[in-house]
């Protein structure tokens, strides 16, 4: 019997479409720039689909610089790549993707290991190509230098505005900024006057906040009032018609971290720079009342026992340090770190004994702040504008033990031996 063998043909599966996403960014929140961002998003949506690729989304960030890693759109894109949902990323140029050379190369290398190609249109570079990383390294260095140049130009413009008595930020309740000058917004100005009036009448920030919210009055952003917002209005010197400029400054053009100005940069005082909402006498009366209430309600024990309270400022997040008693002794720790952990602030705790040692020759009354920087460094900022930098060493575990702790350990060892 002859067998007949027939060849079975399987239907060929359609080739898998490349999943392509795009990233767009503008570094300014101005209307023209936001329109540009909208145009970029629309362009990439059409571009991806017209090439027959599978659309994996367009991720965008607005008014955030390319030197910062904390960009929501950028981080969402990386998350999708790590999940294996993206095969290629398209972006306009290196400077749009990242101006920090380290961030750029680290991100590109990670994506390359995940099998994700990044295509920079302007430079015509594919990161998965043979010479892609070499070209990227060279061009990324130029992008970082460009960022430095932009930053220096920006600093010059800000400084020039300060010297001319012009505010840099126009986001102050009661004013809008027109041609570099504050112009009063009558409806908002009335809210400011109400807050000052009620505070001098004896109401606290909590009661003022509740009254505003109960009356349906919202902040400029349309959100309910909070205690911090009320206090910010009460302490804002700009309402007197005068300006105190450059109270903070940026550490550098990469991190953009805000630092409290303890004399590192010049400050500028512009008298009569714009129309006042609150007269100077009223503002000073409110500051005196804030100080009086703070002293009245502050526990006397805390004021006499803790000489460093309100002095130590975290150089990482800008918050104050607080005193804390632990099993190994008394330490001073950043409030952000203490509340939210190391992910929110990577600052280090300082033993109280170390603070006493470092301030033995420094009158605390002469200080405006003690700034705790990375690398176990403390910057002592004096009222005359001068500074002193001191460094401290971590104590070994044995050195941090008190006599009570050693005695407790001995008793524990004896008890354990007796039970054997």
Residue 120 is predicted with a pLDDT of 87
Residue 372 lies in a domain: yes
Query: pLDDT per residue over 353-382, tens digit each?
Result: 999 999 988 888 889 899 999 888 999 988
What pLDDT was estimated at residue 177? 80
Rounded Cα–Cα distance for residues 271 and 242 (Å): 5
CB atoms inside a 10 Å sphere around CB 291: 10
Residue 175 resides in a domain: yes
Q: What integer pLDDT is reported at residue 82 of this predicted model?
A: 92
Sheet with 19-26: list strands edge to edge. 54-62, 19-26, 88-91, 117-120, 125-126
Alpha-carbon span 373 to 392, nearest angstrom: 11
Give the Cβ contact number of residue 166 at 10 Å. Answer: 20
Per-residue pLDDT of 193-237, as tens digits, reads 999 999 999 999 999 999 999 999 999 888 999 998 999 999 988
207 shares a domain with 106: no
* Cα 216 to Cα 253: distance, rounded to the nearest angstrom: 41
Q: How large is the average pLDDT for residues 396-418?
A: 67
Whether 405 maps to a domain, the answer reads: no
Can you give the pLDDT at residue 262? 66
Percent of residues, the chain, with pLDDT higher than 70: 70
Domain check: are 308 and 236 in the same one? no
Please give the average per-residue pLDDT across 158-181, as a whole number: 68
Distance of alpha carbon 185 from alpha carbon 393, whole angstroms: 53
Is the residue at 413 inside a domain?
no
Q: What is the pLDDT of residue 68?
A: 46
Q: Name the domain boundary from 294, 324, 351.
A: 294
| Res 141: pLDDT | 63
Residues 272-327 have pLDDT tens digits of 778 889 999 999 999 999 999 888 876 655 445 688 988 999 988 889 999 998 88
The residue-averaged pLDDT of 326-333 equals: 88
In a domain, 416, yes or no: no
**The pLDDT value given to residue 11:** 54
Q: Check residue 303 and give its pLDDT.
A: 46
| Residue numbers of the domain that contains 328 | 302-391
112 plus 174 within the same structural domain: no
pLDDT in tens, 142-156: 656 655 555 555 555
- Asked if residue 374 belongs to a domain, the reply is yes
Give the position of tokens 């995940």: 114
- 57 and 31 share a domain? yes
Among 124, 118, 72, which Cα is nearest to 97's? 118
Asked if the structure places residue 3 within a domain, the reply is no
Residues in contact with 169: Cβ distance below 8 Å, sequence separation at least 6, in sequence order: 177
**Residue 307 dihedral angles phi and psi, to the nearest 5°:** -65, -15
pLDDT at 149: 58
Among 13-17, 253-257, 264-268, 275-279, the range with the most confident prediction by mean pLDDT is 275-279
Q: What is the pLDDT of residue 302?
A: 47
- pLDDT for the residue 397: 54
C-beta of residue 202 within 8 angstroms of C-beta of residue 237: no
Query: What digits encode the pLDDT tens for the residues 56-113?
Result: 988 988 755 444 456 788 889 999 999 999 999 999 887 777 756 677 778 888 898 8
Residue 385 has pLDDT above 70, yes or no: yes
Q: Which residues pair with 62 in a beta bridge?
A: 26
The total domain count for the chain is: 3
Residue 149 in tokens:
């140049």
Asked if 135 and 45 sit in the same domain, the reply is yes
Q: How confident is the model at residue 30 (pLDDT cuts 50, 70, 90)?
A: very low
Residue (of 250, 246, 284) closest to 268 by Cα position: 246
| pLDDT at residue 263 greater than cutoff 50 | yes
Q: What is the mean pLDDT of the chain?
A: 78
Q: Is residue 277 domain-shared with residue 324, that is, in the same domain?
A: no
The 3-state secondary structure of the chain, one letter per residue: CCCCCCCCCCCCCCCCCCEEEEEEEECCCCHHHHHHHHHHHHHHHHHHHHCCCEEEEEEEEECCCCCCCCCHHHHHHHHHHHCCCCCEEEECCHHHHCCCHHHHHHHHHHHHHCCCEEEECCCCEECCCCCHHHHHHHHHHHHHHHHHHHHHHHHHHHHHHHHCCCCCCCCCCCEEEECCEEEECHHHHHHHHHHHHHHHCCCCHHHHHHHHHHCCCCCCCCCCCCHHHHHHHHHCHHHHCCEEECCEEECCCCCCCEEECCCCCCCEEECCCCCCCCCHHHHHHHHHHHHHHHHHHCCHHHHHHCCCCCCEEECCCCCEEEEEEECCEEEEEEHHHHHHCCCCCCCCCEEHHHHHHHCCCCCHHHEEEEEEECCCEEEEEECCCCEEEEECCCCCCCCCCCHHHHHHHHHHHHHHHHCC
Would you say residue 252 lies in a domain?
Answer: yes
């Amino acid at each position: 019997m002859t067998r007949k063998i027939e060849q079975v043909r399987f239907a060929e599966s359609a080739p898998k479409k490349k999943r392509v996403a795009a990233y767009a960014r503008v570094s300014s929140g101005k209307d023209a720039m936001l329109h540009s961002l909208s145009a970029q998003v629309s362009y990439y949506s059409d571009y991806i689909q017209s090439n027959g690729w599978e659309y994996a989304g367009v991720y965008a960030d607005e008014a955030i610089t390319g030197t910062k890693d904390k960009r929501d759109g950028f981080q969402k894109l990386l998350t999708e790549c790590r999940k294996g949902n993206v095969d290629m990323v398209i972006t306009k140029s290196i400077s749009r993707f990242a101006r920090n050379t380290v961030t750029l190369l680290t991100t590109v290398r990670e994506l390359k290991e995940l099998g994700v190609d990044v295509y920079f249109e302007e430079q015509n570079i594919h990161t998965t190509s043979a010479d892609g990383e070499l070209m990227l390294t060279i061009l990324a260095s130029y992008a970082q230098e460009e960022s430095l140049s932009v930053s220096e130009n920006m600093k010059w413009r800000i400084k020039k505005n300060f010297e001319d008595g012009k505010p840099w930020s126009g986001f102050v309740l009661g004013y809008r900024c027109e041609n570099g000058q504050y112009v009063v917004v009558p409806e908002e100005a009335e809210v400011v006057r109400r807050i000052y009036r009620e505070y001098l009448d004896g109401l606290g920030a909590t009661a003022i906040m509740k009254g505003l919210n109960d009356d349906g009055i919202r902040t400029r952003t349309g959100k309910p009032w909070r205690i911090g917002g009320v206090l910010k209005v009460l302490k804002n010197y700009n309402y007197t018609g005068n300006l105190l400029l450059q109270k903070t400054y940026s550490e550098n053009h990469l991190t953009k971290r805000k630092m409290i100005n303890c004399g590192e940069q010049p400050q500028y005082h512009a008298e009569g720079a714009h129309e006042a909402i609150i007269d100077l006498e009223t503002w000073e009366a409110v500051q005196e009342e804030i100080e009086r209430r703070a002293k009245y309600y502050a526990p006397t024990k805390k004021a006499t026992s803790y000489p460093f309270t309100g002095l130590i400022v975290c150089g990482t997040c800008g918050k104050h340090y607080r005193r804390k008693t632990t099993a190994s002794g008394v330490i001073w720790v950043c409030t952000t770190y203490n509340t939210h952990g190391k992910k929110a602030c990577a600052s280090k705790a300082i033993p109280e004994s170390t603070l006493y040692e470092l301030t033995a020759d420094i009158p605390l009354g002469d200080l405006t702040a003690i700034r705790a920087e990375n690398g176990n460094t403390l910057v002592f900022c004096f009222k005359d504008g001068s500074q002193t930098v001191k460094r401290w060493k971590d104590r070994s575990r044995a050195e941090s033990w008190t006599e009570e702790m050693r005695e407790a350990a001995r008793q524990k060892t004896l008890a354990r031996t007796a039970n054997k």
